[in-house]
Structure formats: C-alpha cells, structure tokens
Chains A and B, each alone.
Chain A
Amino acid sequence: MINAVKQPQSVVLLGGTSEIGLAIVRALPTARLQRVVLAGRPSERLAAAVDELAAGLAGVDVSSVEFDADRPDTHAEVLDSIAAGGDIDVIIVAFGVLGDQEEINAEPAAALPLIQTNYVGGASALLQSADLLRRQGRGSIIVLSSVAGDRARASNFVYGSTKAGLDALAQGLSDSLVDAGVSVLVVRPGFVHTRMTEGLTEAPFATTAEAVAADTAKAWAAGKHVVYSPPVLRAVMGAMKALPRPVFRKVSAR
C-alpha cells in the first residue's frame, strides 16, 4: 500500500539488472518498504543485484523471479505469481537494449530483436502491469523511455522509434487509467553512463543512473506523469523538436 505520505511497501523491477531501474528502487522512499522483486533472466548479475540491494535495505524481503522480456506470452503469469505474494505498489518497467544502428544499416533484419525487446516486450509488460494494478484498484507504474524517442536521429533511430512507441503507449495508458487508481510516470533520460552506453561518445547533458533515479523519485512523489532527466532536457528537447530538419541533422550528428 502506498500511504498518505507516498511511501510504498512493495516494488517490482521488470529488468532486474537495469542500473537505472535498481537506482530508482533505492531512490524511492524506503521507510515502509517490505518487499522488492527483481524480475529478469536468471544470471549471476541478477543474483548479485538481489544481494547488493538486500544489503542496503535492512529488513526488506528482496528476491528475484524469472522474467524474459522477449517472451510476452509469459508476462501475465509472472506478474500474477508476484502478486500472489501480496499487493504490488510500484512496477518499474526498465528493460531495454540499445542495438547497433550501423549493424542494422548493413542488415535490416538486425532491427527485429531490438524492436521485439524494447517495443513488443515493453508494450506487453506495460499493458499486463496496468491490468494487474487495475484489478488491485491502485498502484503506480514507472516506465523508462528516452529523449531519443522525442525526435529520432540518424545515429540511433530504430532505438528511438521503439522508445517513441513505448512512450506514446504509456501516455495513452496513463490517461485510460485515471479512474482506476493507477498512475503512470514516463521517465525520459538523456545520455546516461551505464553498461548500455559504455564505449559510446558522451552526448551533451550526460548524467548518471543515480541522478536519473533521484529525478524520478522526486517526480513520482509529486504525482507527475512525465519527467526529463536532467530536467533541463525538457526545454532542450522542446527546442530540438522545433528545429528545421537540415539543422537538426547537423546538431544531432555531433
């Protein structure tokens, strides 16, 4: 139950090894936290994430369940199995892959797994999460989108398109849930230093998983529906979207 001062008791992270996702779990109010479930493909990294999180959250039951973003047919079942252990207050949808645009340019079929994970898997996880929370009559979803979805650029437009699709879905879903007691927060980070972006050239306004998590937790507590991280990107992306295409091509190629 999320109480009157916005302290949740249970949090589920879909994409249990996501650095930003884990940082959000830690950044949300922990005073009433009783249970955290990290959902992901079984791996040493997932087990380590459970241990590390449990070490920082005394008295909280931290566990993992098997969850495969690429198998949407199993998503409902996994969520139901988690809910069997008690109501879920917050579901964070944090899985995703960056893909390799150059590889896709050379071999179009390479786009399909990226689309499958980010959009098909993401949409399925979002819709199934919303359905579960609707049956509970309450709860919050936090979904990781990206500024890459605000205006797709030549260097990663397939990734951008998957985030644009997921973002649009999340916003429409959010409006459809107004009377259901369920809220959706869309998080649009800029360039974040994580495993996913290792070795890539840093973009302007680059940030860290912890900073994104702090912005997210603040926006969640305030009942916001969309948050940019860092917050300045709201204005920056507003300007980017207004740029004429030749100018945007030049700016975004930098």
Chain B
Amino acid sequence: MYQRNELLTGWGRTAASAATVALPAPGEDPRVALESVVRDPHRAARGLVARGLGRSYGDSAQNGGGLVLKLPSGGLLLDSDSGTLTAEAGTSLDEILRVIVPQGWFVPVTPGTRYVTVGGAIAADIHGKNHHRDGTFGAHVRSLDLLTADGQVRTLRPDSADEFERDLFAATVGGMGLTGVILRATFGLLPIETSKILVDTRRTRDLDDVMERMVAADDSATYSVAWIDSVAKGKRFGRGVLTTGEHAPLAALTGPDLKDPTGYNPSMLASAPPFVPGGLLTPLTVRAFNEAWYRKAPLSRDAEVQSIPAFFHPLDGVGDWNRIYGPKGFLQYQFAVPDSGAHVVRLALEELQRIGAPSFLSVLKRFGPDNGFPLSFPMKGWTLALDLPAAVDSLGSTLDSLDEAVLAAGGRFYLAKDSRTTPATLAAGYPQIDRFRAVKAAIDPDHLFVSDQSRRLGL
C-alpha cells in the first residue's frame, strides 16, 4: 500500500502534526493498513484515523506520529426503486451530485461545501440548511460497513436486531472515526424534479428581526439559513440576510432552464493564491466586506431561481479559500443552544465584537430535534458558526468564557469544528457521552482509533 509522510492540518490550518498517510488504491483492502499498525507495537501505540477531504476545521482527521488512512473514491450504486445510493466512504458529495442530480436525485443533507466525503459526512454527522426538517446526514443512513479494531468488517443498520450493533451504529454516526473505519454506506436520496432552487431572500434589520423570521420559517421552509453581519453595531447589531429555499418543481422553470431541467454544472471560479500574508482580514476589511455583502442582497425577493452550487455551496466557487486567513490560520466557533438559550447568540456576537475579532462568515441556523446518537451535534434550537482568525489577542480566553455561557444555557460544541475546547467542556455538552465511551471501550479497547483531537479531548 502506498504510504508517505505528510504534515496535516484541518481546514483552519492550525496545529499541524506529521503522520504516515496510507493511500489504498481502489480495490485494495484497507485491512492491510490496519494490520500494519496492529503488528508493530510502536505503530499501534500511535494508532490510526481515517481522513476524508480535510474539511473538519480542527484536529479531527490528523494523528501525529501515527497512521492516517485516506480511502479512495469508488463506484456508486443508485437504486432508483428504493431511492437509495451506496457509495464508498472516500467518495465526495461533489462526485455524487454530478452523477445523481442529472438523474433526478439529491443528497438528503448537504453542508456548505460539497467537498466532503461520505465517510466524513457520517463520522461528523453533518447537518445542512434543512436540519430543522430533515435532521442530520446520519439520520438517512440505512446501513454502513465499519472496519473495526479486530479486523472484522461489520455491516451496521440503525434498526439492527442486535442491540450492540445498534449501539455501534449510533456511536459511529458522529463518532469522528473513533469506533473504526467507515468503508461504505447506503443512504436515502431525495427525488427532485429539477436541479434548481427557488430562493426567497430577506434583508433583516437587526438580530431580533432575523431570529423572529427564522422561527417563523421553521414550518414553512425546507432550507433556511441566515448570514449575520458580525461587525454591524448599535441599531444595526446582528443585521443579516435570511435565505430560504425549496427545490423548484418543473412547473416553476421557464426559458432556457426548461431545456435541461436537471442540468448540473458546478465549476470553480477562482482559487486563492498559494501564499497569503497574515493580516489581510482586519476589522476594517471585514467591515467593508460585510457592508457590501449586506447591500448586495435585495431588501426582499421571492422565488428567485438559483442553481444548487449557488444556493448550497457558494464558497466552493473559490478554491482553497481557507488560505485568506494567512499562515496563522483560523478557527470556527460553532455552538448549539436550545431555544431557551437564544440570548447566547447575542452574547457571542457582542463578545467577539468587543475584542475586535473580525468574522466575515457568521452563520445562524435553526436546528430540529436531536437524533439520539451520543456524539451527534445538532439539538433543537439555534446554532451559530463564526470563522475567526486564530491570531487575535485574547481570543482563547474570550472563547473560554463563551464556552461557559453556552454550557450554562444547555448547549454544546461541534467536534468537526472544534480545535480548542477542553475534555470537560466537550463532555458537559453531551449527556450521553458515557454511552459512546462504553461502545468505544468494547469495540476498541486498545484505542487503536485515535486522532489528535481524541487525545486532546480524552475521547
């Protein structure tokens, strides 16, 4: 199996570590990689973790001094009778969408980037703009194949008759690759008549305005998300742009769109240069960007026809956009709080404004009910995600005090975004963490599956 040494970081480009990266060729048995680690006590002590496209922001998919397994993409099996797709874990949503959209299908859940793998989507139990309606990606998984520490490949289903298999499925969805290596999965698809989205856009006055409108949209909109202007002050504090969307029925299309209703042609428009100096994103430039972004949105517009990439994956149009934060990198602070903790959304925006941490990507979303998987992040209520340059002074201590406010409100943090929290803070947000630990202890007693993040957080 081809292996090479690599210095790895997450999408935020912080806290690099060096690992041996194993790249099995399509068809090559990934058990060979597992066995090579188990056989050698020195390598076993450093363990292994699977890595997809490295879109987790922190240290979830790196394993200093150990093995990192990158599975290849593979063939897709579309069953249009049952509306399911079977895909190899290393296959990206980008590759999947190119195949299924022209055939009239869509993925049940997509995050803000299509450059995530199926394995990563399950391991992080990702969510999208439709969480309040449709839940997480993991909620749509019908079965998955998991390579476990004993060298076995187990096929797990959420409704398995075997209790341990059900528990192992639940611990694997959202389990950040710590129960084993996800090899492939079968998940439900959404039938679509067209590849277009009908988008309603509302510019909102302030934070109360956007939050009221979002609660109201819970029942009416399939997809909803708000971008928040994190630097606006005074009366405009928390203003933003709310977009909601529905898959366009055929009847809604006109003109050239009708020629090819399920046409799908995502393309990359530009790429960030390979080296960007630090200090580009200052409060001043972020303020200018936010002002322009707010003004660019229409005050109110209904049923605008947008493409899938434009609505779901706007940042994928710019390759390697994470480089704009310069060599010190950035982090994403994302938390979820129940509806009763809505005040924490305001507090977080206020505190980060106070220390002058410029965030130009601040996203507010509604979450529906949690799915009961022990490490799955979403919970009924709100989630706020803020991109922050890591080099800001006192960012660490400010986020620590925000952590306390989030926990006090009954909230929690997202492992796929975390790069800085503590074992205690993480555990306090996940009341079922002991259920995860029990499964981990049973299926991987020697902690063969480890990451920098699992070491940092004692998972």
Does B7 touch A at the CB level, under 8 Å?
Answer: yes
Question: Closest B-chain residue to A9, C-beta based?
Answer: B456
Judged by a CB distance under 8 angstroms, whether A70 is at the interface is: no
B18 touches A180 (CB 8 A): yes
Taking a contact as CB atoms under 8 Å apart, the answer to whether A4 and B7 are in contact is: no
Let me know if B73 is at the binding interface, CB within 8 A: no
In the complex the two chains form, is A138's CB within 8 Å of B452's CB? yes
**A87 nearest CB neighbor, chain B only:** B455
The chain A residue with its CB closest to the CB of B330 is A4
Q: Please give, as numbers and ranges, the residues of chain B lying within 8 Å of A9 by CB-CB distance.
A: 456
Question: Which stretch, B59-67, B185-193, B255-263, B406-414, touches the partner chain A?
Answer: B59-67
B395 within 8 A of partner (CB): yes
Chain B residues, CB < 8 A from A3 = 14-15, 58-59, 419-420, 456
Does A223 belong to the interface (CB within 8 Å)?
yes
B18 to A4, Cβ gap below 8 A? Answer: no
Q: A1-B59, A135-B65 are in contact. Are A181 and B17 (CB under 8 A)?
A: yes
Interface residues of A in 94-142 (CB under 8 A from B): 134-138
B419 lies within 8 A of A4 (CB): yes
A54 to chain B, nearest CB (A): 19
| CB neighbors of B among A152-167 (8 A) | none
CB distance from A141 to the nearest CB of B (A): 15
Query: Is A72 located at the chain interface by the 8 A CB criterion?
Result: no
Q: Are A181 and B419 in contact (CB under 8 A)?
A: no
- CB of B390 within 8 A of CB of A4, answer yes
A31: Cβ under 8 A from any B Cβ = yes
Does B134 reach chain A (CB closer than 8 Å)?
no
Complex: how many Å from CA A20 to CA B7?
32
A223 to B329, CA, bound (A): 12
- B14's contact among A4, A134, A181, A182, by CB below 8 Å, is which? A4
Q: Is B271 an interface residue (CB 8 A)?
A: no
A4 in contact with B58 (CB, 8 Å):
yes
Given contacts A137-B17, A137-B64, contact A4 B455 (CB under 8 A): no
How many A residues, CB 8 Å from partner? Answer: 22
Also in contact, A179 and B419, with CB within 8 A (given A4-B58, A5-B395, A31-B400) = no
Most buried by A among B42, B59, B452: B452
Residues of B within 8 A of A179 (CB): 5, 7, 18
A134, chain B: closest CB distance, angstroms: 8
Interface residues of B in 161-204 (CB under 8 A from A): none
Assess whether B23 is interfacial by the CB under 8 Å rule: no
B15 touches A4 (CB 8 A): yes
- Among B7, B19, B66, chain A packs the most CB atoms within 10 A around the CB of B7
* B59: nearest chain-A partner, CB-CB: A1
A181–B63 Cα distance when bound, in Å, is 11
> Which residues of chain B have C-beta atoms less than 8 A from A4's C-beta?
12, 14-15, 58-59, 329, 331, 390, 419-420
A58 to chain B, nearest CB (A): 14
Q: Which residue of A lies closest to B390 (CB)?
A: A4
* Per-residue interface assignment for chain A, residues 1 to 40, with 1 indicating a CB less than 8 Å from any chain B CB and 0 otherwise: 1111111010000000000000000000101100000000
Residues of A within 8 A of B455 (CB): 1, 87
| Cβ contact of B420, chosen from A7, A138, A223, cutoff 8 A | A7
Interface centre among A6, A7, A134 (most CB of B within 10 A): A6
Asked if B64 and A136 sit within 8 Å, CB to CB, the answer is yes
Instruction: List B contacts of A223 (CB < 8 A).
Output: 328
Contact indicator A31/B396 (Cβ below 8 Å): yes
Taken together as a complex, chains A and B put the C-alpha atoms of A104 and B154 apart, in Å, by: 72
What chain B residues lie within 8 Å of A31 (beta carbons)? Answer: 396-397, 400
Q: How far is the CB of B18 from chain A (nearest CB, A)?
A: 4
The answer, yes or no, to whether B422 is at the interface (CB within 8 Å) is yes
Instruction: Pick the residue among A6, A7, A181 that contacts B16 (CB under 8 A).
Output: A181
CB within 8 Å of A: which B1-48 residues: 5, 7, 12, 14-19, 42, 46
25 contacts between A and B (CB under 8 A): A1-B15, A1-B453, A1-B455, A1-B456, A3-B14, A3-B58, A4-B14, A4-B329, A4-B419, A5-B14, A5-B395, A6-B396, A7-B420, A31-B396, A31-B400, A32-B422, A87-B64, A136-B65, A137-B46, A137-B64, A180-B18, A181-B7, A181-B18, A181-B64, A223-B328
